[in-house]
Amino acid sequence: MSEASHTFGGMSQWQVPLPLWGDDALDIVAEPRERDDTPVGLAAAASSGGWADAVGVFDLETTGVDVEHDRIVTAHVGLLDGTGTALRSRSWMADPGIEIPEGATAVHGITTAHARAEGRPAAEVIAEVVAELRELFAGGVPVVAYNAPYDFSLLKYESLRHGIPPIDAPAPVVDPLVLDKAHDRFRKGKRTLEVVAAHYDVALVGAHDAAADAIAAGRVAQALARRFALTGPVHELHTQQIAWARAQAESLTEYFVRIGRIDPEDRIDGAWPIR
């Protein structure tokens, strides 16, 4: 993402990022829209056709992988239309209040010094992220999150840490990781966002940037909807993903036990979309 399309600097503002599609026909930047305090036609967008015609997108970059104890460093919430063009786009950088480990910095590029200098207070950022997500859900818009239990669980614990009412049961959620595993079960190779995006011909520019990852995940979800005709009601799809995620966790548990990676009494948590 370019600086013009993705600016943090401690500010959280609506902006329109550059499209990430590889198709020239879709490489059109929408005109920026002023922030509106009303739902901005979310309900109308959600009811205009299939669920993939309007999807929210959500991603976090953090200090680590422990959802209960690690902290948010950057976040993105946006809204895509049916072509994958961003209609709404909001990014944040937070001062997490703790040191950012070198390993996390190596992933997303944000150092402790940078976050302290440019990030906003974590409580303010978390409250705004929660509010944006609540608005999407209230408008009937599904929110796409790749490996949803990680992002929604970490956001829940961050909310509780700062005295913000958490989103305990996010719905409807669309998780391209769960969908891809369910509909192309036997495909070999990794299932990282970068790999899966490439498989569905979705360009991902600037991986591990919250905005880039969120938008790419939304476009992968739309590609999955087209590829596998996932046109049913999104709330039914949400329920199906709960079962698919549980079955995927059980299968992975059996595999890890078989190769000796975990003990037979250990289980991988298959709760979805939040733990």
Domains of the chain: 24-231 (3.30.420.10)
> What is the per-residue pLDDT across 133-176, written as a single tens digit (0 to 9) for each?
999 999 999 999 999 999 999 999 999 999 999 999 999 999 99
Q: According to the model, what pLDDT value does residue 3 have?
A: 33
Q: According to the model, what pLDDT value does residue 206 have?
A: 85
User: How far apart, in whole angstroms, are the C-alpha atoms of residue 56 and residue 214?
Assistant: 9
Q: According to the model, what pLDDT value does residue 230 have?
A: 97
pTM: 0.84
> What is the per-residue pLDDT across 162-219, written as a single tens digit (0 to 9) for each?
999 999 999 999 999 999 999 999 999 999 999 999 999 999 988 889 999 999 999 9
CA proximity to 175, closest of 190, 189, 159, 193: 193
Please tell me the least confidently modeled range out of 24-28, 51-55, 79-83: 24-28
3-state helix, strand, coil in the chain (%, to 5): 40, 15, 45
Q: Is residue 121 very low, low, confident or very high in pLDDT (cuts 50, 70, 90)?
A: very high
User: How far apart, in whole angstroms, are the C-alpha atoms of residue 1 and residue 4?
Assistant: 8
**Can you list the positions of beta strands (E) in 152-191?**
173-174
pLDDT at 2 over 70: no
Task: Compute the CA torsion angle 87, 178, 93, 85 (nearest 10 deg).
Answer: -20
